[in-house]
Structure formats: C-alpha cells, structure tokens
Amino acid sequence: MRTWREAVDGATRLLADAGVPSPRVDALALAAHVLGVDHLVLVMAPAPTPEALARFAELVDRRRSREPLQHITGRMPFRHLVLAAAPGAFIARPETEVVAEEAIAAARAVGGRPVVVDLCTGSGAIALAVATEVPHAQVWAVELSEAALAVARRNVAAHAPAVRLVAGDAADALPELDGAVDVVVANPPYIPPDAVPQEAEVREHDPDLALYGGGPDGLAVPRAVVRTAARLLRGGGVLVMEHAEVQAAAVRELVASTGAFAAVRTAPDLTGRDRMVLARRATGS
C-alpha cells in the first residue's frame, strides 16, 4: 500500500506539470483535507486507506484542472482567520491582507469605538479581520452580489456576528452614516475590460462582478467607492483602497480630484508593488 508521503510526492509532480503555482503546498493541503486535519506532518501521518487515497486522487484531479484550492477545501486563510470559501465570492489574496492591516492600524489609532465600513466586502474577509483584531470597532460591510453575501453571512456568523452586513451598492451605501465613519476600506473590482487575468484560477473561477471595475480603465467602481468614502468619512477619517499596480498614479489622481481628501499616497504590498491608496478626509470640505 502507498504511504501518504508517496501519494503527496506523486500529487506534487502532477500539479507541477499542470502549472499549479505551489504544487507541494497544495498537495499537502489536499491530503490534510482528506484526513480532516489543519496541517499534515508526513512522518506522523497514519497509513492511508484505499478510500482515502481515492478521495485524494479525486481532489488532486480537480486541482490539476486549476479549480482553486479554496473552493476544493471550502477554506480560505486570511490573516489569523480561516474563512469559508465558495464559488460566487472572490478569493482573498495575500496582498489584500496588507490592505486589511492598514485599515486595522487606522481603526486602532482612533481609539474608543471606531466606525469602519468595508465596501465591496465579498466574503467579508477585510471586515472580519478588522472586527476580530479591533474588537471594540463598529464594523459595517457592504456587498452587491447575493452569491458573495451568502458566503459573507456564513463567515460573519462564524467569526464576528456583530458585523453589520448590508446588501447594497457601494455607490450609494449607508447614507445614515454620512460624516460619521472613521475608516473606509475597500478591495473593489478594478481590472480593465481588456486585461483578462492570466491565472486560470482567477479567470475561470472568480466572479466577473468582483474582477472587472467597469469603464475603459477599470476604475468606474473605484471612483464610486471614493465618492462614497468622501461622503461617509468624518474630517480626518481614513480611506484605504486596493488597486492594480499600474493604476497607482490614476487612482491617486481620482482621489485628489474629489477635493475631499488630503495626504493622498500610494502604499506597497508585501512584494513591494504599488497596490493601495491611502488618504485622509479633509476637514471642512
């Protein structure tokens, strides 16, 4: 009978041949999923049953077809959380963890009970990171897609039931909070219509509504987010919004052009790429 080490080694080769970016990590994650454990230590793994090996082979075949690992396991790590993942909701990437970190830092700096709004929340990842790492914060999360809302509801119920999840468009969300919000954070869709993602996992499995930002430059939704942030934020409140690396200058310009923000700057992700804009709501504008 094959051992788990042999099974994982074989799966790693198959996934590598299929172009999966992290074949060994994914093979281990799939084996752990079959065994019902968070992490698999091969030297401590039990002897696999034929049923377990058959299940493992089935999951590896799905990953070979470039179905996202998160959809196969139903689990999506994000910062210190493990969230539910499912088709219809955008899979949060590691670079977005830095966006969440900036929002968390801004909320902590407020003190008291900061009010934080996450626009285009998707699975709820950023909102839940803020709610669990700044437990005294009042967090609102807005999402338009019903499929994504279904995933977000599961995550909110599991991790931070106090998060207020709102079905709605980021363009006109939460008028009752106008001028009362301390931090607005967003990872909106921002891909231009002609920039089809190269990764099969993104191109074929992430919902178009979460990818393409509208307009020739992909910035129609980000523009709406910025306008809403200008309306929601109090004087001195902070905007944190993710964007594509090539959009840094354009996004700084669109934020500055509102006349509502000061100290507009670009910040990098973990790899040093320009991936988010930060700005402070001007007082009295």
**Beta strand 164-167 pairing with 138-143:** parallel
Q: Which tokens go with 125?
A: 């990842």
Q: Is 216 known to sit in a ligand binding site?
A: no
Residue matched to tokens 């074989």: 10
Q: Is 278 helix (H, G, I), strand (E, B) or coil?
A: strand
242 known member of a binding site: no
Task: Collapse the DSSP code of 270 into the 3-class scheme (helix H, G, I; strand E, B; otherwise coil) and give the result.
Answer: coil
Residue 188 labelled as part of a binding site = yes
Ligand-binding site membership of 155 (annotated) = no
Chain segment 11-68, per-residue pLDDT in tens = 999 999 999 999 999 999 999 999 988 888 777 788 899 999 999 999 999 999 999 9
- The predicted structure's pLDDT at residue 194: 67
To the question of whether residue 175 is assigned a binding role by annotation, the answer is no
- Mean pLDDT (whole number) for 157-168: 97
Report the predicted TM-score, pTM, of the whole model to 2 decimal places: 0.91
List, for residues 179-225, the tens digit of each pLDDT value: 999 999 999 998 777 666 557 556 665 665 666 676 778 899 999 99
* Mean of the per-residue pLDDT values of the chain: 91
DSSP state of 118: E
DSSP state of 212: B
Residues 77 and 33: beta-carbon distance below 8 Å: no
